[in-house]
Structure 1
């Protein structure tokens, strides 16, 4: 399937430049908003991250995940769900849309984990975020990794703010930089993801998953994919049915997060998505079909923790009354994170 035949629209950002006229920028903004209203996912091409820079990022990600387990475990994800940084080994994280209260949270978390997500990840944030301190591997383990990823983190932020500026214009705000003060970049998250090969039958029988169906928590998410495939979104016209988001080389896949849906009073759609069996297999073990290894790099964009998210005036009228009460970002984030990670017993804290 190509980008032209896929159900996910393609938006060209080549005209989003500092010397572009307001009319030119609004034209791009309106196309973006129309796509986000229909699907919630878009391909963005001609953004300001070069193909060479993206290739370097994937090269570094592969170097990271090629390390031995004991090396990656020199920067383990902290126990619990309040700090989301460092290396998460297969089975540690369980992605879902669940939000349990204190009464049912333990049972719900246990039930969700009966089917584990077969993936590993490494989370990176701003060095200026004291609430989410980075967990870096020692420099001698992977020389140059920290320097590259620190720079790449802020390059992704700049790209994200261009997209959010277009969103601001597209939903009728007079100030295209409306979201900039609440999104200085320190609460974003750069995630390196690796889905190792597993028996295809395990995914087909749902005894294992790649990443379960969920929506993203924050404002927007940008995803860079390799050529493997497997990302799907829920069909906006047929709930429960999923459609492919095939790789489009050097494009960023952007999706609306829960906060942006709340800000826009449901003008923009936060779509449920998942990662499942890729369309191609690369090897057999005897007669057993194995999935391809898959790499992706999501970048999650979120406001500062105390930010109060409430419906934008431009998205409210007689036909569209306010749907959401104001909520503080930190409170919403903790409700979602509490169901995603649990503190493992000491005996199970290190992967086999």
Structure 2
């Protein structure tokens, strides 16, 4: 289950899920769940999203972020944290693990002192009423909208099988239990670009790529290029991070906060971050050591907005009392997102 060259993160081959026996599926579900229980992160190969689709998705991402700033700004992320869609320019988003409540402006200002040097484009379901998409004009990037909408639903097809496996793995008799809370309408496809940045600024914490944080939803499916820089907190050494070394066409799946709550902490929502890539992915430019650009595509799987998440009875007993009160997905999302986007949008920052 553990690939030595990948450090602490297990590798699970999901090919048996679609063609194996019920016993095969149970064994795979147990293997997946054990990885999520011990580490919270797992590499998944043969996950159901084709290599061709992934190559095309990364191609669209590169074309998108190669556009001039004024073109990308034709689909700006709406002000504030309520709607998480469209283009976020470098310096707009600040990822943090801190919970910032209304009226805590001082904490919010302090939280944003070190800027995140990345840009992203968020896409959701076209049917969502609470999170409407923000699109570029079609003539700016013809075909982009059509492809990403299709890719969004391809990712959800893979996600549904992971949710089924996790249901079996935690001990539920109904493998479709989690699917009753996930229509796919409240997920998020994110195209991420980390421009080249001076390595010394990253190592000295003058700027950040993406600070340590946990994800808010049920699970996250991540596809990354070969640059590296993603790190995961060691399961037995708090504060110590290990590299999530890229594996070509593999998915990195991790547990989100709401699945951890559902499972009463049986499954682990692990801190992770994006920082300096390995030495071979840095280069000298004008006498400065710069990182190479990095592209990644996370797909966040979240319950529907009005879904109520409460600890599963199969994950509670006298030795494991209920740790969390029931929570509504949309309430939790708003609480966690309060500090990520300021009400007054930040101006783009220089990235070199």
CA displacement 1:289-313 (0-9 Å, x = unmatched): 0001000000000011111100011
Tell me, yes or no, if structure 1 residue 61 matches structure 2 residue 79. no
Query: What corresponds to 1:37 in structure 2?
Result: 37
Distance in structure 1 (CA, Å) of the matches to 2:170 and 2:300: 21
Distance in structure 2 (CA, Å) of the matches to 1:129 and 1:11: 33
TM-score (norm 2): 0.96
Query: What corresponds to 1:255 in structure 2?
Result: 254
Distance in structure 2 (CA, Å) of the matches to 1:319 and 1:350: 51
Distance in structure 2 (CA, Å) of the matches to 1:312 and 1:146: 38
**Offset of residue 284 of structure 1:** 1.4
CA displacement 1:319-345 (0-9 Å, x = unmatched): 111111101111110001111001226
Distance in structure 2 (CA, Å) of the matches to 1:16 and 1:3: 20
**Offset of residue 350 of structure 1:** 6.2
**Offset of residue 349 of structure 1:** 4.9
CA displacement 1:61-99 (0-9 Å, x = unmatched): 000000000000000000000000000000000001111
**Offset of residue 102 of structure 1:** 2.1
**Offset of residue 351 of structure 1:** 6.4
Distance in structure 2 (CA, Å) of the matches to 1:231 and 1:25: 30
**Structure 2 SS opposite 1:209:** coil
Distance in structure 1 (CA, Å) of the matches to 2:12 and 2:4: 12
**Structure 2 SS opposite 1:223:** strand
Distance in structure 2 (CA, Å) of the matches to 1:67 and 1:163: 35
Q: CA RMSD in A?
A: 1.3
* Aligned 8 A contact 1:182 1:307 in 2: yes
Query: What corresponds to 1:149 in structure 2?
Result: 148
TM-score (norm 1): 0.96
Query: What corresponds to 2:230 in structure 1?
Result: 231
* Aligned 8 A contact 2:101 2:338 in 1: no
* Segments ≥4 residues shifted beyond 6 Å: none
**Most deviating of 49-58 and 20-29:** 20-29
**Offset of residue 281 of structure 1:** 3.1
Aligned length: 347
**Structure 1 SS opposite 2:201:** helix
Query: What corresponds to 1:9 in structure 2?
Result: 10
Query: What corresponds to 1:319 in structure 2?
Result: 319
**Offset of residue 282 of structure 1:** 4.1
* Aligned 8 A contact 2:91 2:348 in 1: no
CA displacement 1:90-146 (0-9 Å, x = unmatched): 000000111122232x11111011100000000000001011110010111001100
1:249–1:349 CA distance, 2 compared to 1 (3 A): same
Tell me, yes or no, if structure 1 residue 49 matches structure 2 residue 49. yes
**Offset of residue 283 of structure 1:** 2.6
CA displacement 1:254-291 (0-9 Å, x = unmatched): 00000000000000000000000010334312221000
- The correspondence of residues 154-169 of structure 1 with structure 2, limited to 5 A, is 154-169=153-168
Query: What corresponds to 1:338 in structure 2?
Result: 338
Query: What corresponds to 2:328 in structure 1?
Result: 328
* Aligned 8 A contact 2:222 2:299 in 1: yes
Distance in structure 2 (CA, Å) of the matches to 1:198 and 1:100: 28
* Aligned 8 A contact 1:164 1:179 in 2: yes
Distance in structure 1 (CA, Å) of the matches to 2:311 and 2:283: 50
Distance in structure 1 (CA, Å) of the matches to 2:100 and 2:113: 17
Query: What corresponds to 1:173 in structure 2?
Result: 172
Distance in structure 1 (CA, Å) of the matches to 2:276 and 2:218: 27
Distance in structure 2 (CA, Å) of the matches to 1:153 and 1:142: 18
Query: What corresponds to 2:183 in structure 1?
Result: 184
Q: Flag structure 2 segments of 5+ consecutive residues without an equivalent.
A: none
**Offset of residue 29 of structure 1:** 0.2
* Aligned 8 A contact 1:117 1:211 in 2: yes
**Structure 2 SS opposite 1:26:** helix
Q: Flag structure 1 segments of 5+ consecutive residues without an equivalent.
A: none
Query: What corresponds to 1:26 in structure 2?
Result: 26
CA displacement 1:147-170 (0-9 Å, x = unmatched): 000000000011111111100000
**Offset of residue 228 of structure 1:** 0.2
